[in-house]
Amino acid sequence: MLKFPKFAAVAALAFAALASPSLADGDVGAGEKVFKKCAACHAVGDGAKHKVGPELNDVFGRTAGSVDDYKYSKPMMAAGEGGLVWDDTTLTEYLANPKAMVKGTKMAFAGLKKDDEIANVLAYLKSFSESEAASAPAAAETAEAAPVETAEASPAAEAEPVEAMAVETSKGAFGLGRVAMADEIAAWDIDIRPDGTGLPEGKGTVAEGEPLFADNCAVCHGDFGEGAGRWPVLAGGQDTLLKDRPVKTIGSYWPYLSTVFDYVRRAMPFGDARSLSDDDVYALTAYLLYLNDIVDDEDFELSNENFASIRLPNEDNFIPDDRLNEPHYAKGLEPCMTDCKPGPVEITARAQIIDVTPEGEGDENTGGGID
């Protein structure tokens, strides 16, 4: 009972945004073609009977879920009980995305993606609806007009930017999906490349980054990037890459500064991703440069202007995958099958001596980490 007023309001808004006169201006002939997409499940016209979906004669003015001898989904019947009546407004919303409007409807159709298709199919259906005059006030101005005349009405305003783009279908071989809008791409495409491609405008200093780091990062990474527990160490570790326990930090290991900015912006602080402003991320990145002795001035300001000029010390130490040049992968090696070792084989290492297996006695932090 509570559901319908909510989506009625949404429908009205959507309707308003869609340059309302266009809806009544559908073309019956064009609508008949569009209806072929519906005809697998719906019949309309003389002697139309229910198929997978209910017959659609007099659908205009019909309360949703109200045809006695058709078995509707429960949500559709509830929508009707909530006051949903089919008219230009409600059908326009429903046909654009059935499941969004009546969650749980058994109509499997994904929706008509083009406004003119909806207008045309509604014009076609309207020609089979005697009580069309009873439709919503928004459609009243055309209620008296014979359906065939609607084609003569002035074409709908072409200026329907946002909603029209939203339903622009793919031009690909399958015609599936819709065109992504610029704002949508901007919302998700936040990746930064080493050459600075993708950087947003902004700036931040080391000094600005320090309190941000203390508030947002130090709990895991330590006040100076030294890492708490097994959380990643972010600073220090220079000259450890050749040692038994290398400490791989931004300063000692990471090849590119862009990775710092990109990752902080997309995934940090841990558990509250995307909460930092771009300027905050510039300031934190500047502070991390300072912690790694790559800049030494607290007034240093990092921005989209100077970002690409900063190089990390270990950049040149990354090489392509050359595993197949290793001697054990030499081509044509035939593995030994017999007498492969001269004498009895000796055990040189035992897991039970280290004993860090879960459910064992020790739970010491002795192993190499993988995070």
Partner 1 sequence: MVDKTDPQATKRAASRRDFLKAGLLGGAAVAASAGVARAAGEPLITEIQDWNRYLGEGVDVAPYGKPSEFEANVVRRNVPWLTSDPVSSINFTPLHELEGIITPNGLCFERHHGGTAVINPADHRLMINGLVDTPLVFTMEDLKRFPRENRVYFLECAANGGMEWRGSQLNGCQFTHGMIHCVVYTGVPLRYLLEEAGVKTNGKWLLAEGADAAAMTRSIPIEKALDDCLVAFKMNGEALRAEQGYPLRLCVPGWEGNMWVKWLRRLEIGDEPWAQREETSKYTDLLADGKARRHTFVMDVKSVITSPSPQAPVTHGKGPLVISGLAWSGSGTIKRVDVTIDGGRSWQPARIDGPSLPKALHRFYLDINWDGSEMLLQSRAIDDQGLVQPTKNELRAARGENSIYHNNGIQTWHVNTDGVVENVEVS
CB nearer to partner 1: give 49 or 331. 331
CB nearer to partner 1: give 169 or 304. 169
CB nearer to partner 1: give 49 or 323. 323
Q: Could you give the CA distance from residue 6 to residue 9 in angstroms, rounded to a whole number?
A: 5
CB nearer to partner 1: give 126 or 221. 221
CB nearer to partner 1: give 154 or 366. 366
| Smallest distance from partner 1 to CB 139, Å | 29
Which residue in 172, 296, 309, 361 binds partner 1 (CB under 8 A)? 172
Residue window 80-119: x/- pattern of binding to partner 1, with contact defined by CB under 8 A: -------------------x----------x---------
Backbone torsions φ then ψ of 303, nearest 5 degrees: -145, 175
Q: Could you give the CA distance from residue 167 to residue 18 in angstroms, rounded to a whole number?
A: 12
| Smallest distance from partner 1 to CB 227, Å | 9
Residue 358 within binding range of partner 1, rule CB under 8 A: yes
| Smallest distance from partner 1 to CB 137, Å | 31
Which residue in 36, 49, 146, 350 binds partner 1 (CB under 8 A)? 350
Cβ-in-10-Å burial (0-12, 13-18, 19+) of 368 comes to exposed
Residue 361 within binding range of partner 1, rule CB under 8 A: no
Residue 253 within binding range of partner 1, rule CB under 8 A: yes
Q: Could you give the CA distance from residue 35 to residue 296 in angstroms, rounded to a whole number?
A: 70
Residue 223 within binding range of partner 1, rule CB under 8 A: no
The span from the first CA to the last CA of the chain, in angstroms, equals: 51
Residue 51 within binding range of partner 1, rule CB under 8 A: no
Buried b vs exposed e over 275-288: b needs ≥16 C-beta within 10 Å? Answer: ebebbbbbbbbbbb
CB nearer to partner 1: give 69 or 346. 346
Contact 289, 214 (CB under 8 A): no
Q: Could you give the CA distance from residue 222 to residue 224 in angstroms, rounded to a whole number?
A: 5
Contact 75, 104 (CB under 8 A): yes
Task: At 179, list the tokens.
Answer: 């065109």
The interface region with partner 1, picked from 26-34, 49-57, 59-67, 319-327 by CB under 8 A, is 319-327
Residue 241 within binding range of partner 1, rule CB under 8 A: yes
- Beta-carbon contacts of residue 120 (< 8 Å; ≥ 6 apart): 26, 27, 28, 30, 31, 33, 34
Which residue in 29, 71, 263, 299 binds partner 1 (CB under 8 A)? 263
Q: 155 preceded by cis ω (within 30°)?
A: no
Q: Count residues near partner 1 (CB under 8 A).
A: 89
Q: Could you give the CA distance from residue 91 to residue 97 in angstroms, rounded to a whole number?
A: 10
| Smallest distance from partner 1 to CB 244, Å | 8
CB nearer to partner 1: give 306 or 357. 357
